[in-house]
Amino acid sequence: MPVTHLAGALCHPTDCTLRASNSQHIATRFNEHSSVSHTRDLDRVQVAERWSRIKECNYVPVKVANTRADLGESLVWDERSGVLYFVDISGGRINGLTPDGEVDCLYESAARIGALALTDRGNLIFTEDASVAIFDVPTRKVSQHSASVHPRSTYRFNDGACDPQGRFVTGLMDEALSDNTGALFRFDWQLSDQVIHDDMGLPTGLAWSHDGHTVYFVDSAARAIYRAEYLIEGRLGAVTLFAETPAELGRPDGLALDREGGLWVCQYHGSCLLRYDRHGYLTDQVLMPVPCPTSCCFGGPGMNTLYISTARYDMTPEDLHHYPDAGDLYAIRPETGGVARHSFKE
């Protein structure tokens, strides 16, 4: 990967966090209950208390590719080939960043491509509107396709990932933003689907703990990350609130897990990435040079680089004048590297 300069300076404690606005850093102070919207909800009170110590981090995001994606998403690192895959949802494309730094369009569709993951045969499983397909990388052809899970054209799958058993889990959302009609779907090797969680507004990022017993998932509309026991048969146990961010930091989007069990989350319209430890306490914040980071994943030698996709979707000409690099790919080098994601079993 053509990433030659990735900063990894130590973080220092502070009681305020920073967000980017028009290329300037604005200090925003949070009190103990700043993220509590329902004081009677014990989960939210406990999550709010975890914001008592916030670190301002000096990681400097480095641009690794000029992709100009309208809505970049679903970063996937392939250790065998050294290719970083990602999609442009509204552009309907699956792209690959090759080891020599070239961006290669592998597949283009009139449909919206939302989620992407590797298979155990080195192929890709991806979503196309409200269906799921297998993409054969050597021939660059779709080899298997599921039926659509919803008849309305406003519904599509968003982000997704594979569980420890090799099944594909992805979130269905309504672009018309109907109230809590989103859901998590699980697909087996035959691309047969089953709903495993519903009543969601805008499902996005997914990540599993190292032991596979816990799954983290995002409802971006609720500005919340949830945690649940993940049963071996692919069902969820009790769901609890893991983290909730205030509106001034945008909405949580894609997730990545590091080797310490820390959870990195992209804050869409928040110009930053946040890191929570395994207990849900905020430990780090990384300022981004663009407003809308969307997805992140670990990759590179030793899985020590955190790659970050961004978007320019729905930005005005004035916005793009201030942030011409919106939609490009970035990377940082955190102190703690990541773990490889699970693959789909074909």
Residues of each annotated binding site? 73, 156, 158, 253
The alpha carbon dihedral of 89, 94, 100, 102 has a sign of negative
Q: Which residues are registered as beta bridge partners of 14?
A: 54
Instruction: Write the DSSP string, 162-213.
Output: E-TTS-EEEEEEETT--TT-EEEEEE-TT--EEEEEEEESSEEEEEE-TTSS
**Cα diameter, the chain:** 56
| Angle value at C-alpha 87, between 73 and 151, nearest 5 degrees | 90
- Token pair recorded at residue 255: 């997730």
- Candidates 133, 141, 138, 140; CA nearest to 114 is 133
Cβ atoms of residues 257 and 209 within 8 Å:
yes
Annotated binding site for substrate: 156, 158
Residue type, 329: L
Alpha carbon distances (Å) from 253 to 80, 123, 332, 338: 27, 25, 18, 18
Catalytic site positions: 253
Give 176-180's long-range contacts (Cβ < 8 A, gap of 24+).
177/201, 177/202, 177/221
Annotated binding site for a divalent metal cation: 73, 253
